[in-house]
Amino acid sequence: MAELSDQERDEVVAAIRQGRTLPARYRASLFDDALETELIWPGKTSEVERVVLPFQSIEHIDEPRAETVIQPTLFSMDNLTGRQVGGWTNKLIWGDNKLILSSLANGPIRKQIDEAGGLKLVYIDPPFDVGADFSIEAEIGGEDVTKAPSVVEQVAYRDTWGHGANSYSAMMWERVQLIHNLLHSDGILLIHCDYRTTAIIRMIGDQIFGSENYRNEIVWSYRTGGAGRGSALPRKHDVIHVWAKNSERKINSLTERQYLDKPFMGSKVDGEGRNYVDTIMRDVLEGVINVVNDDNTVSTISVRPVLNLSSERLGYPTQKPEGLLQILLKVFAPDDGVIADFFCGSGTTVSVAEKMGCKWIAADLGRFAVHTTRKRLIGDQRALAAEDKPYRAFEILNLGSYERQYFAGVDLTLPEDQRQADSIQRKEQFLNLVLSAYGAQRSEQLPVFHGVKENAVVFVGALDAPVTQDELRKALSAAKSHGITRLDVLGFEFEMGIKPAMAEEAKEEGMTLTLRYIPNDVFDKRAIAKKQVKFFDVGYVEVQIRQEKSGPVEVSLTDFGVFYAQDDAESAAMGLSKGAERVVIDGGQVVRISKDKKGIISKEVLTKTWADWIDYWSVDFDFGSQKEIVVSEQDGKSLESWTGRYIFENQWQDFRTRAKRTIKTVSAPHSYDTPGEYKIAVKVVDVFGNDTTKVIKFRVK
C-alpha cells in the first residue's frame, strides 16, 4: 500500500465517520488487490436497465406503391400482392433507446434477432456537441420554418448533458452495456464521436468490451469547415472507435487483386503462378480510403463531396454522408445477421444497409427522426423495386402504452390482473401530473370529470387505452346535465376519426368540445415546473372515397386541420427591430411578421391551403385485416395477446421530399378481389412528423 499524507488520512477518517463513500482515488492506496484503469464519475453505478416492455406494431410497409408491379424476390414475396410472407422483417422503432435496448436484449424479439443470424454490427452516432441545436427546418407553404425540438427530446438532451461529462458518461455507460449484451458473440460496435467525447467513449468501450478487443480508431477527415480561430488549429475530423465482442472476429477485405502481365516491384504470385498486387478498392460511392494498414484495417477515411451540397441532405443537423457508412459497412458488415443504429437520426445507416441487402434495426427518440427515416426507406424500396432488385418489408414499432405505464411507475413484471390493480393505485399520481401540466385543478365534485380549468371541466383519458366515442358521449351528456358548456378532453390516444363528428355533435348542443393530446413530457416534473409541456389539439382529416360502378376504388383528401402554436405572433411582433421580419407558427398557421423602418407591423399568412401542412399520407385499403399481437414473457414463457388494435398496412403513399415539394391528394386506384364491406384507413403525417388517422367503412361493389 502507498503511504498517505496526514491530510489524506484525515480525509479518509472523516469520510468513514460521516458514512460517506471513500473517494475513488484512495482505492489503490488502501487495498491490496490489483486495479485496472477505470473511468469514474459521481453517482456511477453498475446497475443496468433490465425491463422488458412489449413492442407494439404500428405500421407495416412492404409495397412502395400500390400501382407498382413488384416481382417475387429472395425475401419470399407473395406473387400476387407483393406482400412479404416470411423471414425477417426490418424494424424502425420510436422510443427511448435505453428501454428499447433492454426490451430487445431480454425480451421475445431477441429470438427473432438470433434466428436472423444475431446482431452482428452496431453503429451509433450519439450526440456529442454540448451546444447542439436539434431544431429541424421544415418547409410549409413554400417558406422555411423552424421546428423546435419536442420537450421529450429537450429533456433527454438535458439528462445527457445536464451535468456535463458526468451525465454523458452515465448515459453512454448504460447503453454500451446493453448493446454489448445484445450483440452476437461475433458482433462489432462502432461509436462515432469527436474531440469532446472521444476519451470518454474510449474508456467506456474498453471497460465493457475489454481493451484487448479494441480494433480501430478510425479518423474521418473532412475537407471543409473547422476553421481555426487563432487559439487552436482547425478541427477537421471525427473519430469512430471500433470494438469486437470476440477477438477472433474477422472483417471484410478492403483490397482487391490486380493481376499483372509480368512481375513488378512489390508484386506477389498466387497459387497458379500469376503475378498480382493488392490494391485498395475504389468502388465505394463518394468515399476515398486514405490509409490501409498492414493488417487490412482502415486508419483514415475522407468522404466527398460536402454533404451540404449533396442530394442526400434531409435537413437533419447531425446527418452523415452515405459514402462514410458505405465504407464502414463494406468493412464491418457480416455476411449474415442484423445491423443496427440506435441513434438513427435521418436513417443513413439503415438506408445504406437496405441498399446493400442487409437486415436492420433502427431506433430514435424523436418522432420526426422516425418519420424522416420512414420516407427515406420507402424511397429506397421504390428505387430497388424499379431496378428489379430485392428489398425487405419493414415495420414501425413503439413501446406505446407500456412505456407510459413504465414512466408512471407501474410494475410491468406483474401478471395482468395484478398489473391492472397496480395501475389503478397509481392513477391519482398520474392524474395530478397531467392536470398540473395542463394548468387545471383537481376536482372530485363532478364524478365523471377529473379537473377544472377556468370555465371548462376536464376529462383525462386512460394511461393505457385510447379515449373512445362512448367515453366522449358520456362526458358530454354529464356536462350538459350540469349546465356546463365547455369540455376539455385529454388523452394519450384517441379512437380514430372522432374529432369532427364529436365536435359537431357538441356544437349542436351549444357546447364547446376540445380534444388535446397528452404528451409524454408530463412524466418529467422538471418540464412541468418550467411550464414547458404543450398540449396540442387533435388534428382531423376529411376524406372522400369513390368507386365507378364495380371498378377500382380511389381515396381523396378533402380537408386537413392542425392547431399548432409554437410561437405567439403578438409577442414576436413586439420583439422585432425596425426593418426586420420573422416567420412564426401561431394558431395553426404559418405567419410572416414584418416591421418596417417606421415601426409599422404587418402580418402575412403563408399557409394558403390545408394541403400545405401535409408532408405524407398513406392508405390501408383493408384496415382490420391484421391484428396487432404483442408478445410478452411470463414465468419464462412467451405469451401472445391481441391488443384490440389493428396494424396499419401501408398499401399506398405519397410524400414530399426536398426535391419534390408537391403532394397528391388522390390515391392510386385500388382493386378488390371480393365485393363487400371494408374499412379504409387514411393516415396523414404533418410537416412536423405528427400523424392523424381516420377509418371509414365503405361497401365495395
One-letter amino acid identity for 118?
Answer: G
Greatest Cα pair distance in the chain:
99
Q: What contacts 114, CB < 8 A, 6 or more positions away?
A: 184
Question: Cell 416534473 belongs to which residue?
Answer: 525
What is the distance between the alpha carbons of residues 364 and 56, in angstroms, rounded to a whole number?
Answer: 15
Distance set, CA 292 to CA 215, 253, 330, 358, 552 (Å):
14, 10, 14, 25, 58
Q: How would you write 509-542 as a 3-class SS string?
A: CCCEEEEEECCHHHHCHHHHHCCCCCCCECCEEE
Question: Cell 395484478 belongs to which residue?
Answer: 418
Give yes or no for a contact between 425 and 456, defined as CB atoms under 8 angstroms apart. no
3-state secondary structure of 443: coil
Strands of the sheet containing 614-620, edge to edge, are 652-655, 614-620, 676-686, 691-700
| Pick among 3.40.50.300, 3.40.50.720, 2.60.40.10, 2.170.120.12: CATH of 540-558+606-700 | 2.60.40.10
For the chain, first and last CA: distance in Å?
89
**Per-residue confidence (pLDDT) for residue 438, from 0 to 100:** 93
Low-confidence ranges of the chain (pLDDT < 50): 1, 65-82, 130-133, 281-299, 303-309
**Per-residue confidence (pLDDT) for residue 669, from 0 to 100:** 93
Question: Cell 395553426 belongs to which residue?
Answer: 588
DSSP string over 279-301: EE---STTEEEEEE-TTS-EEEE
**Per-residue confidence (pLDDT) for residue 177, from 0 to 100:** 94
Task: Extract the C-alpha cell encoding 404.
Answer: 407510459
Q: Output the CATH code of domain 56-404.
A: 3.40.50.150
Q: Which CATH architecture has domain 409-462+465-529?
A: 3-Layer(aba) Sandwich (3.40)
Q: What are phi and psi of 53, to 5 degrees?
A: -105, 135
Q: Where are the domains of the chain?
A: 1-35, 56-404, 409-462+465-529, 540-558+606-700
One-letter amino acid identity for 175?
Answer: R
Chain center to CA of 416 = 29
